[in-house]
Structure 1
Amino acid sequence: MNNYKLIVMDMDDTLMNHENEVSEETKNYLIRIQEEGYKVVLASGRPTEGMLPTARLLNLDKNQSYAISYNGGKTVNVATEEVEVNRPVTKENFDLIVDYCRRNEFFVLTYHNGHIIYEGEHEYMNIESELTGLPMKKVDDLKSYIQEDVPKVMGVDYVANIVKALDSLNGYFNEEIDVTTSKPYFLEFMATGVSKGNAITLLCNKLNIELSQVIAFGDSPNDISMLEIVGRSYAMDNASDRVKAVADKVTLSNANNGIPYALKDIL
């Protein structure tokens, strides 16, 4: 008998199919294994508000489980919406990140009161809203409008420009800010030490679960920190080669119910 207790999964391009939905097969399977005693956790770069509808669809609220949002910057109890962990970007660093994005001509956005706050325009400007379902609010000057800490900041641009910036920064903006990506056109800035891997480690400590008892699924560079530390890790077939190289195994794609396909084999 296996000794796994917790299954954690990314959302976009992992749990969600190309229609930005959870398939019926995947949904029904994840609900059933929770009834059998396994705990399911979502871990995403998405804002919390953009995760909770899917978390509730999968009955995470009824099973006293958690959503890890903003790449690990915040962990929330789905049933109560109580914040377990919160690691924001300070206002001072927010201003520095906005300056950097402006210099590089990136479209820049952040999150405040359940809205995506942005300035300027870009061909890709609506993607985050379409993914998360959060409304967008345009402001004249982000630095003037935002006067407090924020959960995450994101620069958006064409893939070649984001790849160039990622290579140049190499995961490091300054000693208080790390950089990653969840989609090839998103450059994501979080507080140093914020990662899905660190968030899962803290959650497992709280739940008295060993990391060796965790199964994780992902597809993007921001998933690597969790895939490296768990007992069994799976990259989706649509994942980048870098992610596949880290994972223990590669399962079917997000369009082909890759999560239940892998879990049926191991559970």
Structure 2
Amino acid sequence: MDYKAIFIDLDGTLLSHFKRISQTSVKAIKAAQKRGILVVINSGRTPYEIERILRKSSLYLPYIALNGAYVRIMNEKKAIYKKHMGYDLCKEMLHISEKYKNNSFWYTARYSYAYHLQRFSWLSKYAVLQYLYEHAMLLSRRFIKSNHLKAELLAGNIGVYKCGFMSADKGKLAAIRKEIDGLGRFETALTAPVFLECNLRGVTKGSGLKKMMQYYNMSAEEAIAIGDSENDIPMLQSAGLGIAMENASDKVKQAAGLLADTNARNGVAKVIHQYFL
């Protein structure tokens, strides 16, 4: 197959453990672009976070943000596609957050808002803070009082694309996921042991890949996708070739056709060299 595009996840895939894109990967991406290859970032992060990361490495790439809810060509004024959750679904998720007395996060194009309903134990704080550090959420979080956030969400004043539930209690997180899945209106993915992400039904990294390829008049079969987390599975299954990182979970590896080296050993750069350079 003559592949013409590659879709790349950020955390655990392109980014190192220090949340940077290595110079080896930057050079490989730029070399692929010079050969006319479409290089796209496909991440659960906000557009603001993605652009901030790319600009640090002088990369200007099309990207899919918020697990497929926001598709954009970098530096263009308007998004190709965006899909908010809407008032009714935000209300349902708020109800679940309050029912389980569990902290939740609400993502817009720029900010992630925290709705705090529970204090963490010291052990839980360690697991949660580790997740926040690894995903650099502290860089784009906006803190407002929980009662104010609820009022803003219910008034429809915040355009939410994705929400998430954070807990070090795996049993509680599993119960929350089961209830949300039972509604039949959301996509869910456990992107870390302490974090559950939720999007509208039909909004995934896979749907984002298809929309981007349609925009460039190409088929999904002409794309390679590479990732490491549960939310990457729809992307891996939608592409012509899905590749899981060596550091991915077993569930992700089973969904992929091939394995790449780890993010610590420039797995993405090696895939680009193998298929495009």
Query: TM-score, normalized by length of structure 1?
Result: 0.89
Q: Which residue of 2 aligns with 1:212?
A: 221
1:27 to 1:160, Cα distance in 2 relative to 1, 3 A? same
Moved more, 71-80 or 174-183: 174-183
Unaligned ranges ≥5, structure 1: none
Moved more, 26-35 or 176-185: 176-185
Question: Shift of residue 15 of structure 1?
Answer: 0.8
Q: Which residue of 2 aligns with 1:41?
A: 40
* Structure 1 stretches of 4+ moved >6 Å: none
User: Which residue identity does 1:238 align to in structure 2?
Assistant: N
Q: Which residue of 2 aligns with 1:9?
A: 8
Q: Which residue of 2 aligns with 1:131?
A: 136
* DSSP-derived class of the 1:158 partner: coil
1:145 aligns with 2:152: yes
1:115 aligns with 2:120: no
| Count of aligned residue pairs for this structure pair | 262
Work out whether residues 45 and 70 of structure 1, in 8 Å CA contact, stay in contact via their aligned partners in 2.
Answer: yes
Unaligned ranges ≥5, structure 2: none
Question: Shift of residue 58 of structure 1?
Answer: 5.4
Question: Shift of residue 163 of structure 1?
Answer: 5.5
Q: 2:85 aligns with which of 85, 89, 99?
A: 89
Q: Which residue of 2 aligns with 1:195?
A: 204
Work out whether residues 40 and 60 of structure 1, in 8 Å CA contact, stay in contact via their aligned partners in 2.
Answer: no
Moved more, 187-196 or 120-129: 120-129
Question: Shift of residue 59 of structure 1?
Answer: 5.2
Counterpart CA distance in 2 for 1:53 and 1:249 is 30
User: Which residue identity does 1:143 align to in structure 2?
Assistant: K
1:186 aligns with 2:195: yes
* DSSP-derived class of the 2:72 partner: strand
Q: 1:227 aligns with which of 195, 219, 236?
A: 236
Moved more, 98-107 or 52-61: 52-61
Write the deviation string for residues 236-260 of structure 1: whole angstroms up to 9, x where unpaired: 0110101101111111111110111
Higher RCO structure, 1 or 2 (CA under 8 Å, sep 6+): 2
Write the deviation string for residues 117-152 of structure 1: whole angstroms up to 9, x where unpaired: 113254226844752421331323232132224111
Counterpart CA distance in 2 for 1:115 and 1:227 is 27
* DSSP-derived class of the 1:181 partner: strand
Query: TM-score, normalized by length of structure 2?
Result: 0.86
Q: Considering fraction of residues, name the structure with more helix.
A: 2
Counterpart CA distance in 2 for 1:95 and 1:208 is 37
